[in-house]
């Protein structure tokens, strides 16, 4: 019994969601746009370009393509500055244990992320070798909640979407998994991720029995 276990990156494997927030907040502040933690939920799982449009929309700001390109570069440079010293300590609790368990059980393991910075992050944190397949922001044209990123991951693993499980911290990602008819597992708060099939606060509370039940389902 081989299933596809597809992991989002930011906020699921690594604690980078906070850095994305800080970097976007700087852009928003420089434009006098009020941008809260609550607004930030809308940006999780969403591409860089689309995220900027959402922020500009919050402040009703119209901008030229030239300005937008400049802010996108600024945001990414600032974001990357938080990652300079990144190492395996940035891997969220319970993630290594879960990946190892899936490896031991011979399951398909994929990354399904909107980020264009995914590969360097997986390398810096020493976790890249766990992944049989990596699909990231460089490989897809449609952003979550479009299921393209997860469907592509399952396809590369040669496993049916119905036999695929997605771990996500974003509303857009849970919706993408549901649209793809995959099992959706929310990592985070129940109030935000209520559309998920299962919700856990983090990987420390995901035990072997649960993983086994997904494999044999």
Q: Which residues are catalytic?
A: 8, 10
120 in contact with ligand G6P (CB under 6 A): no
169 in contact with Mg ion (CB under 5 A): yes
Number of residues this chain uses to bind ligand G6P (CB under 6 A) = 17
Residue 15 vs 207, nearer CB to ligand G6P: 15
Of 6, 12, 27, 45, which lies in the binding site for ligand G6P, with binding defined by CB under 6 A?
Answer: 45
Residue 3 vs 44, nearer CB to ligand G6P: 44
CB of 116 to ligand G6P, least distance (A): 4
Residue 37's contacts (CB-CB under 8 Å, 6 or more residues apart) are: 21
Residue 143 vs 211, nearer CB to ligand G6P: 143
Nearest CA to 113 among 74, 148, 155? 148
Mask for 81-110, x = binds ligand G6P (CB under 6 A): ------------------------------
- Describe the strand order of the beta sheet including 108-112 as a list of residue ranges: 133-135, 108-112, 4-7, 164-168, 183-187, 198-200
8-state DSSP, 92: P
With H, G, I as helix, E, B as strand and everything else as coil, classify residue 193. Answer: coil
Cα–Cα distance measured from residue 23 to residue 25, given in angstroms and rounded to the nearest whole number: 5
68 in contact with ligand G6P (CB under 6 A): no
145 in contact with ligand G6P (CB under 6 A): no
What is the chain's percent helix, strand, coil content, to nearest 5?
A: 50, 15, 40
Q: Which two tokens stand for residue 33?
A: 């746009």
CB of 192 to ligand G6P, least distance (A): 13
Of 8, 41, 90, 136, which lies in the binding site for Mg ion, with binding defined by CB under 5 A?
Answer: 8
90 in contact with Mg ion (CB under 5 A): no
Distances (CA, A) of 20 to 64, 87, 127: 23, 17, 20
20 in contact with ligand G6P (CB under 6 A): yes
With H, G, I as helix, E, B as strand and everything else as coil, classify residue 115. Answer: coil
Question: Which residues lie near Mg ion (CB under 5 A)?
Answer: 8, 10-11, 169-170
């Amino acid at each position: 019994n081989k299933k596809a276990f597809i992991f989002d990156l930011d906020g699921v494997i690594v604690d980078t969601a906070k850095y994305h927030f800080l970097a976007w907040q700087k852009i928003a502040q420089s434009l006098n746009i009020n941008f809260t933690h609550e607004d930030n939920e809308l940006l999780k799982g969403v591409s860089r370009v689309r995220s900027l449009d959402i922020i500009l929309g919050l402040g009703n700001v119209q901008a030229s393509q030239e300005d937008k390109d400049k802010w996108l570069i600024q945001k990414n440079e600032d974001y990357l500055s938080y990652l300079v010293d990144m190492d395996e300590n940035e891997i969220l609790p319970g993630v290594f244990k879960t990946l190892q368990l899936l490896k031991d059980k011979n399951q398909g393991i994929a990354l399904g992320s909107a980020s264009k910075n995914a590969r360097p992050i997986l390398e810096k944190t020493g976790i890249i070798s766990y992944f049989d397949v990596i699909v990231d922001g460089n490989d897809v044209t449609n952003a979550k909640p479009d299921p393209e990123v997860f469907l592509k991951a399952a396809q590369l693993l040669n496993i049916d979407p119905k036999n695929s499980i997605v771990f996500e911290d974003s509303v857009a990602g849970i919706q993408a998994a549901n649209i793809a008819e995959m099992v959706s597992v929310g990592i985070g708060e129940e109030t935000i991720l209520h559309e998920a099939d299962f919700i856990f606060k983090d990987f420390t509370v995901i035990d072997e029995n649960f993983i086994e039940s997904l494999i044999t389902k």
